[in-house]
Structure 1
Amino acid sequence: MSTGWRLSSQLAWRFRRSRGQSGFTSFISASSTLGIALGCCVMILLLSVMNGFERELKDRLLAVLPHGELTAVTPEGINDWQQQVQRFQADPNVRYVAPVTQMAAMLQSAGKMNAVQVTGIDTRFTPSTRIHLMTAPEQWQAFEQQPNGILLGRGIMKKLGVEVGQKVQLLMPQQGDSQHFRPPKSVWFDVVGAAGIGGELVDNHLALIHLSKASSILGVTSGAQGLEFGFADPFRAPFLMRELGMGFEQYVYISDWTRTHGHLYQDIKLVRAVVYLVLTLLIAVACFNIVSTLVMAVNEKRREIAMLKTMGARDSLIVSAFMLQGLFNGLIGTAFGVFSGLVLAWKLSALASGLESLTGITLLSGDIYFIDFLPSQIHLFDVLVTAAIALGLSSAATLYPAVKAARIEPAKVLGH
């Protein structure tokens, strides 16, 4: 360290620890440090929660839902879907491809009805990760062995009061002309198990039957109405699906998970942006207290500054001394805020669970959301950005008071 910087740091530390500093100035200085620490702590904590929700969205919800779908425009379905599956499986971006046939229907049992989204699947193409997350292994085996079996979402079974082993009636509307009314098609199924991941998004509307059964009901002659895709990176699904759909041999409808469940991901991104904006403003407000502290410190140290300049101190020495004095507040506040934010984010799930047990209040209900705990994941980039914002604003806040101190004229101060 050069002699100038060593002298500047010594002066900054002496000015900061000076006993002649008023109590009000000390209070403003402490409040600025506390404000910076609070802003850094809350920003790291909330960003970690957003990262946790994004991780759970990817590992839970997107591990069950298809990332994209190609659906045939014509009622006959996908032409030669077996060959198409083999072709798409060679793509390194594609994790799995499975044929599906989907329909909207009403499920009836004991006089109760519920709207469901029925999906016909081929068990040979269903990835094991989806099976383990959605249903119990023994129920999946029962579904494989029962051609007329159906897996229902847990929410549907609860609403209809249905249990495994009972029969349910599936009602599907049929198209008719203006002259004649065609009654809905009715098909009976055996409930072989419950499926779902928790929350209203899947459990209240999910129904799985065999692909051959679904295609037979809808009259899909090719055997599959569409293809569903899973990608190694689900967040690239919109781009990849558009690329696959545009190169497909027949006319298809292109869809991806951002169209059906993308509001969750967009909400996370929106909240992240709001957190950055609001807490950056909070840190900026705390840094304004640094300006107030240094301005009052300059007024209190006018005689000392004048004497230093009389003894030959340059303006750069005075500027750097007061900038370092303000940066001490920023460094202390940032260090304490980052440390406390990391500790709280690390233990957040356990703290939230303890708070629920203590108060009896459920923070996240598994019946509504796809998770029943408060997730948290620390990203080094967020920590570095938070620290950089705090230190950058702290540095900017010291400029005006430091320049004002350097402009003090010794003759006017010492003359009085």
Structure 2
Amino acid sequence: MKLIFQLAWRFRSSKQQNGYISFISASSTVGIALGCFVLILLLSVMNGFEKELKDRLLSIIPHGELYAVSSAGISDWQNEIKSLQVDPRIESIQPYTKATGMLQKGKKMKAIELVGIDTKYAEHDGMLSSVPTAQWQAFSHDEQGVMLGAGAMRKLGIELGDKVKLLLPQLSNDLSIRAPKTLWLNVVAVVNIGGELDNHIGYMHLPLASQTLGVTNGVQGLRFRYHDPFLAPMITREIGYGFAQEVYMSDWTRTQGHLYQDIQLVRVVVYITLILVIGVACFNIVSTLVMAVNEKQSEIAMLKTMGATERTIILIFMLQGLINGVIGTLIGVICGVLMALNLTTVARGFEHLTGVQFLSGDIYFIDFLPSALKWHEVYITALIALTLTLLATVYPARKAANVNPATVLGH
């Protein structure tokens, strides 16, 4: 093997080698390196978005919801919560009542969705991480208090301490529209969730919301947080089908699932596209080796006359092509890993330098470019690149082994 490696390296770095062959060989190495680099980098970005989706957005919005078909709400909801809390898959349960209407400040109006929450059950809600402690205390002690999303406050020109009017639509028994209910609320806290949610969501006290909407049982529904939010559709349906009364079922994949689906779709497209880029680079290895075989026919013939077997010739040229793949893979993997580990810092530096913002916090749930490197994806990327390189060397190596010494040396 030492002899095979020496011959493969000499053939690859021969000074007499045609310049065009050297160029194709170098381009194959660069192509493999570029494919590995971009694949690792983009997969890390997709992982970063998925991690931020789970840690930020899914720490705030409920993973699953059950809400009563009856306008009276969930009956005996305290005991229902106690019986469901023994399920090890459930992290926490909150009762809620949702009020959808128009929020008015002066002449400005905006559609809003206010969720009535019980402060006792909401203490472990991830939503509170975005609310300052002093503001949460003010909300807890003010029955007419409301916490509004930062986007909604900005669009209506609302500041802390302002009073706002909530208009709730009403339907009569014959389904005709009546004058809306009016409710005055004190703005005591601001919620910074991120993205579009900031523009149309807020929180008020559960008793006030239920009383205003006529929910006689006290709560309209139950909100669930699971230890694994990606199991939300299955767990929510399982709980809903076994619930004591008729309820509607919903989970985060129905309301915010497009974000997760987009991430998975882009991940698949990235995989396919960049593996094809690596494959094209490997075709350059085929071209390089085929031309090298044609150029080195006399050397191959002499090696055969000196006793080299077909297996030896095959291994020499397979190793020559594999060297290009190994060098390209190493360069691509090292650069990809280093860039993925420092992508957020590099992106912020580029934004500061150019004044161009990659992600807007008003639209997305984050305002920075995330990255989360997973080492098993690095290993898979390197393995794919080396496998494609190895397969690309098979045909040229067999072509070299079939060189006839008598024919070549006779000319």
CA drift of 1:129 comes to 4.9
Contiguous gaps of at least 5 residues in structure 1: none
CA distance in 1, matches of 2:357, 2:401: 57
CA contact (8 A) 2:360 2:367 kept: yes
C-alpha distance 341-114 of structure 1, shift in aligned 2 (>3 A): same
Select which of 335, 339, 346 maps to 2:334. 339
Select which of 36, 39, 43 maps to 2:35. 39
1:269 aligns with 2:283: no
Sequence identity percentage: 58
Q: Which residue of 1 aligns with 2:394?
A: 399
SS at match of 1:75: coil
Select which of 237, 244, 255 maps to 1:242. 237
Q: What TM-score comes out, normalization by structure 2 length?
A: 0.98
SS at match of 2:116: strand
SS at match of 1:183: strand
CA drift of 1:180 comes to 5.3
CA distance in 2, matches of 1:32, 1:129: 53
CA drift of 1:139 comes to 0.7
1:67 aligns with 2:63: yes
- C-alpha deviations, 1:310-331, integer Å up to 9, x for none? 2221111111110000000000
Alignment of 1:10-409 (within 5 A): 10-176=6-172, 181-200=177-196, 202-409=197-404
- C-alpha deviations, 1:163-210, integer Å up to 9, x for none? 11111111111112559541111111111111132221x100111111
CA drift of 1:239 comes to 1.1
Amino acid in structure 2 at the alignment position of 1:295: V
SS at match of 1:114: strand
Which sits farther off after the overlay, 319-328 or 131-140? 131-140
Please give the root-mean-square deviation of Cα atoms over the aligned residues, in Å. Answer: 1.2
CA contact (8 A) 2:61 2:127 kept: no
SS at match of 1:194: strand
CA contact (8 A) 2:127 2:193 kept: no
CA drift of 1:135 comes to 1.2
CA drift of 1:89 comes to 1.2
- C-alpha deviations, 1:195-236, integer Å up to 9, x for none? 132221x10011111111111111111111100000111111
Q: What TM-score comes out, normalization by structure 1 length?
A: 0.97
CA contact (8 A) 1:69 1:255 kept: yes
SS at match of 2:245: coil
CA contact (8 A) 1:120 1:212 kept: yes
CA distance in 2, matches of 1:358, 1:298: 50
CA contact (8 A) 1:196 1:206 kept: no
CA drift of 1:131 comes to 4.3
